[in-house]
Structure 1
Amino acid sequence: MSGIAGWVDFEREVARERHAVLAMTAALAGRGPHGDGLWACPRAVLGQRGTGAVNEYEGGRPVVVAEQGRPVAVISYDGSVSNAARLRRQLTDAGEHFSCGSEAEVVLRAYLRWGTAGVQRLEGMFAFAIWDLRVSQLILVRDRMGIKPLTYQPLEAGVLFGSEPKAVLAHPLAEARVDADGLRAVLTAIKVPGRSVFRGLREVAPGHLVKVGVSGIHTEPYWQLRPRPHTEDLDETVDTVRRLLTTAVTSAMAGEPAAGILLSGGLDSSAMAALAASQAAAGEVLRTFTVGIGANACSVPDSPYVSQVVEHLGTQHLEASFDPQALTDPVVRTAVLTAKDLPTPYGDKNITPYLFFRSVGEHVKVALSGEAADTVFGGFAWADDPSVVQAEMFPWLTVARQLGLEHGIGAGLLDPALLKWLDLDTYCTEQYHGAIAEVEHLPDSHGLERRMRELSYLHLTRWLDPLLLHSERLGTAGALEIRFPFCDHRLVEYMYNTPWAMKSHCGRERSLLRSVVRELLPPTILARPKTPFPVTYDDGYKTHLRDSLAAVLADPHAPVAALLDTKAARAVVEDPRLIDRGGWLGRADVEMALQLNTWLDRYGIRLVL
């Protein structure tokens, strides 16, 4: 777990201005409190921060490989390559000589031995930058599923890059600007992979690498979702999935014997815990962690299910509970917003995980999450609803519209004239058709199987991105490295090409996952329906939101004022019943208004509309 940043310019001696990169790495203090290490040459400065926790490389400094006393390549690295030990042996056998035990050096020497083709040998989650002094070229690489973030801004003769937008925006040559499409992406949480909500910034797309040289910037994929025939029957498929998932879980725990499991008592996290327990060494006790948010949570009965799993597997368990008052702490709320670099309407659904991850991080430095299981195994609540399946729109937006949310979650207090001008419906329609056009099909694909492949692709490439950003960023800010076994690319590739008839073979979502762990979990866990992350209904928290909204309305200089429907916002302040509209949906409108205000203010954002 680390934060990386840097500056390359082919017409400027950036080594003289390394202080600018120090500002970039300082902005990433949440990703690593240790080290502010820089490496510099006339055309490039690479920076890094570290945590001193897992796979630490040179105390938060870039790693350098030299030949005959002269540096040939430098890497700033963030991540966890699960097959690093095996690659190290292969490279040693091939004649490479290692100077330290860091994972970063393994990745760098893999590049020096195999070039950019070496990226395809890496397994796990990673984002890194390599400056190759032999050819004066920068290589930016991001893992296949986009777990680790990496942002960059092209310059006239180079590039700025950083783990998160805040690092790039800390550089004097960058400016926090958001145009109409950026605001549309914020409000809908939908964008093309590789795009950023900030104008002028880009993201290294999942499974891609970016080359920056004197001739310009070139992007190329090294991994993509491809259709392949599925030739195994159901029993063989279950066996294969079991093997792949078991390998994914054990790989995620590799090199970290004290890793924990984030356990909700649902199928996904319980399956992960069961597979981890089945592979544990004799006498090894698995550690599990659950979040609790007090008596005023929504009625999601996690605790009884968690207790069954803990007793069944014999884990060492801890429930981290929080007083709802902690959700109103302005320091905590700001930390959550700046961790994600984006406003969202989810409020305590963001704050509670942050507090939870921070608490877990006091006991273990690595924890496994069941995130992405729904996406990979087809755990879609709407899968049996033809009106959703056949709609020419992202299915989660179709569901939102069925709930009466014309503009999605969190837009209820925005100026209707602004929403009409943004025309989110046209934006989402264009984004949908652009995504569907990316899907490749087998020649004989038709009917429901063809359609479910398309919807699987939408979830893997559009829906999953904000979910992974949520967990990775909040976990890192809480000093906890979260790993995602369900994002193992071999499992993803296999499941992407598994027929929908097999994914739902027993008439339920995630049928294959239930079959894989049928002998490892109690029947009540296997039968438990999907439940959402708990939210608080504490009256004090809701009062805090209304008071905060009132303060924004009373501030003539509030940045969000020009975006709000002032009449609707005042109605919420005056009538406490409105904040409970649709359960927590009315509250989501308030959360979004407040977060937009803080975001515009703290980031000094200039709206270019």
Structure 2
Amino acid sequence: DRTKVIIFNGEIYNFQVLREELIQAGHVFSTHADTEVVLHGYEEWGIDVLQRLRGMFAFAIWDTQKQELFGARDHFGIKPYYYAQMNGSFMFGSEIKSFLPHPDFKKELNQEALKPYLTFQYSPLNGETFFKGVHRLQEGHYYLFNEQGLTIKQYWDADFSVKENHSREEWVDKIDQAVQESIAAHQISDVEVGSFLSSGVDSSYVASVLRPDRSFSIGFDDKTYNEAIEARKLTEKLGLNNTAAVIDGEMSFEAFPLIQYHLDEPDSNPSCVPLYFLANLAAQQVRVVQSGEGADELFAGYAAYGFHTNSKAVRVFAQGLKKLPQNIRFRLGRQIGKMKNFHGRIHLYEATAPAQDFFIGQALVFEEEEALQLLKPTYQKGPSVAEIVAPHYEKVSGLKDEVNKMQYLDLHQWMPKDILLKADKMSMASSLELRVPLLDIEMQKLSQTIPTKYLINQNNTKDVFRQASNRHLPKEWANREKLGFPVPIKAWLKEGTGYEAVKSLFESDFAATFFDQTAILQMLEDHRQGKPNLQRKIWTIFTFLTWYKVFFIDESIPEAKEIVYETL
């Protein structure tokens, strides 16, 4: 009846089921699109439509009768959502850059964002962004905007409190069934669906079940490890078509300003670079791909959850210590944390101490004190690391399982603000739709009920998930060590294009606005001379300066040059 208008970004994977239900309730459709299903769903169920949606989404519905705007973001934050209120205007969108041309938008750096960014490598503030006055609608939340103002509420959250009792083999069965069903649901499309493929178990599991006509891999011209070559070995075993290409440092630094432009906020996760090129490569052949994001958070795949040693004896001993009463275990853990280093100390410490004592997520670049020493006084303010993670830990304070607490934190920090943000922004930079079947609401409902002993133990990380993947992959593939997206920034920053690009930015006048210029230039030279563990710190500063130059100095879209790939 044209009383409601929707703007929608994403995909609803159960829209056909919902459409039939709505037709039975008397709704008349003019299209077969999932967007119209969301709109009719709102008419039928109101805000409760959110409890029925399975998918990735960011949308806004204007109700002309209520004179009210209703907006929502999906459960995990797969799709980005920003909003701002300035000079009487309410703005919203999937990209911050969409606000820039608006006459009421005032572009200003949020001075409190830089300090915590240096620790986390991404923009970690709870709701705020690097642009003052621009907010991020958090995952699993909706808002109502009307004449009374803006109201934001949470409609969904993970709940690790209830565990189910099944055998190891039964869990493997349940996971494999859920993975296959989710991949099938995410395959619904009017166009061909391809697959990203790395050498890791997650994307390999997806590709082995999906069996796409086309898979895509990217690697570096690095002599120590080439992800694309390893992925090609799997496609040969499975009989899949694979397009693989190799990129180098020169290509990466040339594209880096454009990468930061598409990200909207600085993100120094080095994997942004290969992901940008991988999406560009895939977009030359397909419009939709599936990828493996989400399994590590849902099924405890990170070493940081408690897998820091190759010693089976230490791992078995740590499993035994976990059975101690919590108060005794925490006291023991804190004592271990004060000891001098010995083999297995970190593993034993993190297996026994409270998560809140040591865990802030999957990335820690600068310690807070280090960041303060480098920053000019104006940029030393901002929330502490403890203040940022505290609200999440408070919500799970009643849980006894420390691994579940870490998973919960990652689901609300690392996942939406880094992993999913770069996945969406880097794929959409090439107009490629990225789907993540392992990060599905039905998958999450299953994973949160699995006792941790089946996920991370003396055998491996995400143990039963790996065993489920074994049913589709060569045996050695399921137990591969997690590598992320290996990027050779250590070598890049020592010579040639990379070193010169970083040095040029570090020497720029505007760099002195934020940093102790002598200190950051010395850091670059120390790295060049072989001092260890400086590459991520240099890269994080370089990323921020690149981003700032794009948005606040050049104020123009970086040139997108033609990419010529060396294919395998």
Alignment equivalent of 2:137, drawn from 198, 201, 204:
204
Q: Which residue of 1 aligns with 2:374?
A: 416
* Shift of residue 543, structure 1, vs aligned partner: 2.4
Structure 2 residue 240 is matched with structure 1 residue 276: no
Structure 2 residue 506 is matched with structure 1 residue 548: no
Residues 201 and 480 in structure 2, CA contact (< 8 A), matched pair in contact too: yes
In structure 2, what is the Cα distance between the partners aligned to 1:246 and 1:201?
Answer: 39
* Shift of residue 428, structure 1, vs aligned partner: 0.4
Residues 507 and 517 in structure 2, CA contact (< 8 A), matched pair in contact too: no
Within a 5 Å distance, the mapping from 1:239-318 to structure 2 comes to 239-256=173-190, 258-277=192-211, 286-294=213-221, 296=222, 299-303=224-228, 305-318=230-243
Q: Which residue of 2 aligns with 1:167?
A: 98
Within a 5 Å distance, the mapping from 1:504-543 to structure 2 comes to 504=456, 507-536=459-488, 542-543=495-496
Richer in strand (by share): 1
Change in 2 beyond 3 A, CA 1:491/1:190: same
Structure 2 residue 491 is matched with structure 1 residue 566: no
Q: Which residue of 2 aligns with 1:176?
A: 107
What value does the CA root-mean-square deviation take over the aligned residues?
A: 2.9
Give 2:279's aligned amino acid. Answer: F
Deviations 1:79-115 (A, max 9, x none): 0111122222222222211122332112111111221
Residues 182 and 199 in structure 1, CA contact (< 8 A), matched pair in contact too: no
Identify which range, 469-478 or 221-230, moves more after superposition.
221-230
Alignment equivalent of 1:395, drawn from 359, 363, 368:
359
In structure 1, what is the Cα distance between the partners aligned to 2:92 and 2:358?
Answer: 31
Residues 546 and 572 in structure 1, CA contact (< 8 A), matched pair in contact too: no
Unaligned runs of 5+ in 1: 1-66, 278-284
Within a 5 Å distance, the mapping from 1:79-118 to structure 2 comes to 79-118=10-49
In structure 2, what is the Cα distance between the partners aligned to 1:252 and 1:393?
Answer: 38
In structure 1, what is the Cα distance between the partners aligned to 2:495 and 2:348?
Answer: 37
Q: Which residue of 2 aligns with 1:434?
A: 391
Q: Which residue of 2 aligns with 1:588?
A: 539
Q: Which residue of 1 aligns with 2:423?
A: 471
Deviations 1:168-189 (A, max 9, x none): 2332222222334322343333
Change in 2 beyond 3 A, CA 1:427/1:587: closer
Change in 2 beyond 3 A, CA 1:595/1:341: same
Unaligned runs of 5+ in 2: 308-346, 557-568
**SS of residue matched to 1:181:** coil
Give 2:349's aligned amino acid. Answer: S
Q: Which residue of 2 aligns with 1:231?
A: 164
Structure 2 residue 311 is matched with structure 1 residue 358: no
Deviations 1:18-74 (A, max 9, x none): xxxxxxxxxxxxxxxxxxxxxxxxxxxxxxxxxxxxxxxxxxxxxxxxx2xxx2011
* Shift of residue 124, structure 1, vs aligned partner: 0.7
* Shift of residue 324, structure 1, vs aligned partner: 3.4
Q: Which residue of 1 aligns with 2:244?
A: 319
Deviations 1:176-214 (A, max 9, x none): 223343223433336354333322222221111100011
Identify which range, 596-605 or 370-379, moves more after superposition.
596-605
Change in 2 beyond 3 A, CA 1:398/1:422: farther
Q: Which residue of 2 aligns with 1:453?
A: 404
Structure 2 residue 450 is matched with structure 1 residue 490: no
Residues 549 and 569 in structure 1, CA contact (< 8 A), matched pair in contact too: no
**SS of residue matched to 2:466:** helix
Q: Which residue of 1 aligns with 2:367?
A: 406
* Shift of residue 467, structure 1, vs aligned partner: 0.8
* Shift of residue 116, structure 1, vs aligned partner: 1.4
In structure 2, what is the Cα distance between the partners aligned to 1:260 and 1:223?
Answer: 30
In structure 2, what is the Cα distance between the partners aligned to 1:436 and 1:380?
Answer: 19
* Shift of residue 158, structure 1, vs aligned partner: 5.3
Residues 253 and 501 in structure 2, CA contact (< 8 A), matched pair in contact too: no
Deviations 1:135-190 (A, max 9, x none): 11101111110010111113575521111111123322222223343223433336
Residues 186 and 342 in structure 1, CA contact (< 8 A), matched pair in contact too: no
Change in 2 beyond 3 A, CA 1:505/1:574: closer
Deviations 1:389-412 (A, max 9, x none): 5253462569847xxx4249xx77
**SS of residue matched to 2:266:** coil
Q: Which residue of 1 aligns with 2:564?
A: none
* Shift of residue 520, structure 1, vs aligned partner: 1.4
Change in 2 beyond 3 A, CA 1:91/1:288: same
Deviations 1:562-598 (A, max 9, x none): 1122213443666772587437336425523542542
* Shift of residue 218, structure 1, vs aligned partner: 0.9
In structure 2, what is the Cα distance between the partners aligned to 1:544 and 1:318?
Answer: 27
Within a 5 Å distance, the mapping from 1:18-57 to structure 2 comes to none
Change in 2 beyond 3 A, CA 1:327/1:89: same
* Shift of residue 253, structure 1, vs aligned partner: 1.2
Alignment equivalent of 2:3, drawn from 56, 60, 72:
72
Residues 250 and 498 in structure 2, CA contact (< 8 A), matched pair in contact too: no
In structure 2, what is the Cα distance between the partners aligned to 1:75 and 1:301?
Answer: 45
Give 1:307's aligned amino acid. Answer: R
**SS of residue matched to 1:487:** coil
Residues 80 and 125 in structure 1, CA contact (< 8 A), matched pair in contact too: yes
**SS of residue matched to 2:478:** helix
In structure 2, what is the Cα distance between the partners aligned to 1:586 and 1:365?
Answer: 35
In structure 2, what is the Cα distance between the partners aligned to 1:493 and 1:451?
Answer: 19
In structure 2, what is the Cα distance between the partners aligned to 1:586 and 1:185?
Answer: 13
In structure 1, what is the Cα distance between the partners aligned to 2:8 and 2:293?
Answer: 24
Change in 2 beyond 3 A, CA 1:588/1:122: same
Change in 2 beyond 3 A, CA 1:127/1:590: closer
Q: Which residue of 2 aligns with 1:377?
A: 299
In structure 2, what is the Cα distance between the partners aligned to 1:141 and 1:206?
Answer: 9
Give 1:270's aligned amino acid. Answer: S
Alignment equivalent of 2:290, drawn from 339, 356, 368:
368
* Shift of residue 359, structure 1, vs aligned partner: 1.1
Residues 250 and 276 in structure 1, CA contact (< 8 A), matched pair in contact too: yes
Identity of aligned residues (%): 24
Structure 2 residue 429 is matched with structure 1 residue 502: no
